Amino acid sequence: MDGEDPLVAARREFQEETGFTAAANYVELGSVQQASGKVVSVWAVEGDCDPALLVSNLCQIEWPPHSGRTIEIPEVDRGAWLLLEEAKGRVNPAQQPFLDRLAAKLAL
């Protein structure tokens, strides 16, 4: 949302997309610009969430593309705990620096 504090937006998005509330003590991991031009800002926080309990909000997409027909789908279809190297292979390539920054802050 325009003018919204980025951390407030991140906390709201996390709750909407997972059903979990992030705890305090946020560690800022900075921002990156994706190929689409979208700027993504990320914070890390220590917590304990069971991926099996993830509940996402719904979003509308046009499907099939260019058909004019819309369907509702979950914004997030599932969550999982991954080792760092596997996570790097699954995230948007532009977002891989966040994992490196987190590893550096944790001295991994």
Q: Phi/psi at 41 (nearest 5 deg)? A: -110, 140
Q: Give me the amino acid identity at 69.
A: R
pLDDT in tens, the chain (108 residues): 568 899 999 999 999 999 999 888 899 999 999 999 999 999 999 988 999 999 999 999 999 999 999 999 999 999 999 999 999 999 999 999 999 999 999 986
The encoded tokens of residue 90 equal 């699954």
Domain ranges of the chain: 6-106
Angstrom distance (rounded) from CA 97 to CA 44: 13
The encoded tokens of residue 20 equal 């979990």
| 5 CB-near residues (< 8 Å, 6+ apart) | none
Q: Give me the amino acid identity at 82.
A: L
pTM over 0.85: no
